[in-house]
Structure 1
Amino acid sequence: MYKKALTSLTILFFMMGFITCLNDILVPYLKSIFSLTYAQAALIQFCFFAAYGLTSIPFSKLIEKMGYQKGMVIGFALAALGCLLFYPAVLLHTYALFLAALFVLASGIVLLQVAANPCVAIIGPKETASSRLTMAQAFNSLGTFVAPFFGAYFILSGLTNSIYAEGVVYPYFLIAGVLIVIALVLSKINLSGMESAQADESRWQDVLKEKGLLLGVIGIFAYVGAEVAIGSFLVNYVMEISHVSETQAAPLVALYWGGAMVGRFIGIFTLKAFAPAKVLMTHALLAVLLILVSMQTTGTLAIATMALVGLCNSIMFPTIFTLGIKGLKDGQEKKGSGLLATAILGGAIVPLLTGLLADRLGLHHAFILPVICYVYIAWLGLRNFTKA
């Protein structure tokens, strides 16, 4: 049962990464189609990640009642519905409808996140939870690595001949079909052993009083915000520096996410060999250094150093997540996961603020906001390391 559960969860993580990373292709695509400013284009990520802030806790309550497996099946179905809603958005050529479709799609991803993260943490020994979640996140990163190539070929390649954003219809219909098939298969697998036997009688306020969880919530907000802000504007950043087309710049987004994938596979071993908090602090400090170098340079060096931040991001989510729920009592994982998933709202707020800065100061200088986020994460790692 353990292997079957872990295999199902890794497939789930792959699809979550693939769908989420396609937003990085939608940003330059819809920016061009609708002639948007950076701030307006950032609404794509805002509507997608706002779903985390609005639905994570309600979905956590839902999973408490119906269990992990049913929650994941509904999550896949809801995400498929969001993909299908791209069709009327194209027909009516309305940017607001694209944003609404993304919110529905993201709501399905939220439900999957809230169910999947604690599952990976509790199906094996607590001592290896960070390593196990990092492995699952590595397949999430594989999805984010593949998505830019998929998006560049099926979506961005037709940008010059596209008027009504019709390039997104068939790719998202294909994704909807895959999600529906996965939902049907998952509904037939017996994963009842994943459910926590410990009932949770605590209140949400009691769970949030755990200081480690609260700091973890802020850490997830900062991490996701910084990662998404860089990924969202990387195509435009490369275009601005090297004067290439969207299609030519898109593969560099794959390198950014590919770095996270490679780092997560390496992290499976480093998180066993070293204290997770120490690894987190080191990665965050490296991210700060790389972004500052990119901001102060131009050409290949500026692009390469920004893309390498993806490697630093690799172990951040699983490490912050497991450090956040470490002090919780048995049975409180679902509530803790819901609160941590709510913090993914950072992916809505930080890119939007970065877009506003880019419109005023230029994209080069706007990345100071992700720097601030990584400084906090470095402090969080230091605090947990010295406390251990």
Structure 2
Amino acid sequence: MHAHGETQHGKSLAVLTTLFFMWGLITSLNDILIPHLKGVFSLSYVQAALIQFSFFTAYFVVSLPAGRLVHLLGYQRGIVAGLGMAGVGCLLFYPAAATLSYPAFLGALFVLASGITILQVAANPYVTRLGPVATASSRLNLTQAFNSLGTTVAPLLGAMLILAGTQHITGVSAQEKALAEAASVQGPYLMLAAALFAIAAVFAMLRLPAIQDEVAQDGQQAGSVWQHRHLVLGAVGIFVYVGAEVGIGSFLVSLMEQPDVGGLSQADAGKLLSLYWGCAMVGRFAGSAVMRHIAASKVLACNALLSVLLIATAMLLGGKVAMWSLLAVGLCNSIMFPTIFSLALSGLGKLTGAGSGVLCMAIVGGAVLPLLQATVADNISLLASFGVPMLCYVFILYYGLAGYRPRG
């Protein structure tokens, strides 16, 4: 019976993995949208950073309502609802491009990200419960690796479909050029919408194992989730980590385009960006092996220190060295999110669910910190702005050395 259960879950897990791939793809495409729309609408760095702001604010706003929705509908219907909403968000890119409206793009991104938030809230716990508790984290790591595959493929696709097609538009008025450049977004996002609706239809028809939530005990006796210092510091860790990862991804294409750094075309820079996310994917596979032998907190501290050194090198030396150093930070990022997440939740017992909600809301760091980095980029220089993620990694270093320890 048990073996049968594993194979039966194997099919469900395979289908769930497509979700992780899709939302990795969609999230990472923002790194291509930023330099692209920055050019189309002649935006400052701060205005361009509103792309990530609209996207990641959805996590903050929608996480709790999404939790209630999934509770009402169940995991499977919750996933279908999330996919449908994300698909609608992708469709909204069409009128945004046709009317050349930057606010309409930001609105479409918010709807798209709201759908993905519902997906995350439903799919993450579902994966951990599909099978034995003992292997839950390895299952989540596997699905996360496919998430990384999505983030790696997206810049390549985006560079080919969105950035490369617009380099040859000449001899037309500025308005026509802007319209043509904006229109290059329409096809890819229509394809994404079609894919999301197709996956939603599959999920609606699948017979996934129904999983009951454990009846939550009255949480009062367990105290407040905010009493646990290692969880609160872990939430700060998630906040700064997502902010740093997103900030670097958001501005790397623009940096690699600069004549004194990479001197690359936008399309070539976009393709190189997939190295940043690809390193994270490789690091996830390697990291899970390393962590069987070395304490997770030590691996985290080591990776954070390496990130600080790589960014410091980039800022001091500039040029091609800066480009490669910053791309290498992707490798260090690999294990950070799942490691901070698990360290922050350790020993919470009945408060684990509430703690997980706090950590998911901390993903809003991806909205806030790139704006801060953009402000530095507009006022000082783009290279100097990478000091913001560097400080984030300093905090993660502290968390890996001391902050993760629960204080009883």
Q: What is the TM-score of this pair, normalised by structure 2?
A: 0.89
The corresponding residue for 2:235 is 217
- Compare CA radii of gyration and give the structure with the larger one: 2
Work out whether 1:382 is the aligned partner of 2:382: no
Residue 60 (structure 1) aligns with: 67
Shift of 1:253: 0.8
Deviations 1:16-45 (A, max 9, x none): 100000000000000000001111100001
| Change beyond 3 A, Cα 1:9–1:337 | farther
- Alignment equivalent of 2:248, drawn from 211, 230, 238: 230
Residue in 1 aligned with 2:193? Answer: 176
Structure 2, unmatched stretches of 5+, are: 1-7, 170-176
Structure 1 position 313 matched with structure 2 position 313: no
- Counterpart residue type for residue 145 of structure 2: A
Counterpart Cα distance in 2 of 1:131 and 1:26: 33
Q: CA deviation at 1:71?
A: 1.5
- What is the rounded CA distance, in whole Å, between the counterparts of 2:396 and 2:58 in structure 1? 23
Secondary structure of the corresponding residue to residue 155 of structure 1: helix
Q: Secondary structure at the match of 2:178?
A: coil
Cα RMSD of the aligned pairs, angstroms, is 2.1
CA 387–51 in structure 1, closer or farther in 2 if over 3 Å, else same:
closer
1:21 counterpart (24, 28, 48): 28
Shift of 1:231: 0.1
Query: Greater RCO between the two (CA within 8 Å, min separation 6)?
Result: 1
In 2, distance between residues paired with 1:143 and 1:367? 25
Superposition pairs for residues 257-336 of structure 1, below 5 Å?
Answer: 257-330=277-350, 332-336=351-355
Query: Separation in 2 of the partners of 1:64 and 1:329?
Result: 20
Inter-partner Cα distance in structure 1 for 2:22 and 2:324: 27
Structure 1 residue aligned with 2:16, among 9, 33, 39?
9
- Say if 1:39 and 1:355, in contact at 8 Å, map to a contact too: yes
Distance 1:72 1:317 in 2: 22
Number of equivalenced pairs = 387
C-alpha separation in 1, matches of 2:295 and 2:130 = 21
Distance in structure 2 (CA, Å) of the matches to 1:233 and 1:214: 29
Q: In the alignment, is residue 163 of structure 1 matched against residue 163 of structure 2?
A: no
Paired residue secondary structure (2:184):
helix
Distance in 1 (CA, whole Å) between partners of 2:64 and 2:151 is 26
Residue type of the alignment partner of 2:286: I
Q: Which moved more, 1:69-78 or 1:130-139?
A: 130-139
State which drifts further: 292-301 or 122-131: 122-131
Q: Which moved more, 1:352-361 or 1:1-10?
A: 1-10
Aligned-partner Cα distance in 2 for 1:180–1:122: 25
Which string of whole-angstrom CA distances, capped at 9 and with x for unpartnered residues, describes residues 195-228 of structure 1? 4333354379833433333222111111100000
* CA distance in structure 1 between the partners assigned to 2:126 and 2:284 by the alignment: 18
1:365 paired to 2:384: yes
SS of residue matched to 1:273: coil
Q: Which moved more, 1:180-189 or 1:77-86?
A: 180-189
Answer yes or no: is 1:103 the counterpart of 2:120: no
Counterpart amino acid of 1:250?
A: G
Greater CA drift, 95-104 or 125-134: 125-134
State the shift of 1:97 in Å: 0.3
Q: CA deviation at 1:359?
A: 0.5
Deviations 1:32-61 (A, max 9, x none): 000011111000011101111111112122
Aligned CA distance change for structure 1 residues 383 and 3 (closer, same or farther; 3 Å): farther
Identity among equivalent positions (%) equals: 50
Q: How many Å separate the matches in 2 of 1:54 and 1:104?
A: 11
Shift of 1:194: 3.7
Q: Deviations over 1:337-368 (max 9, x none)?
A: 32211111000101010000001110111111
Deviates more, 1:44-53 or 1:151-160: 151-160
Give 2:3's aligned residue: none
Within 5 Å, give how 1:62-81 maps onto structure 2: 62-81=69-88
Distance 2:400 2:124 in 1: 20
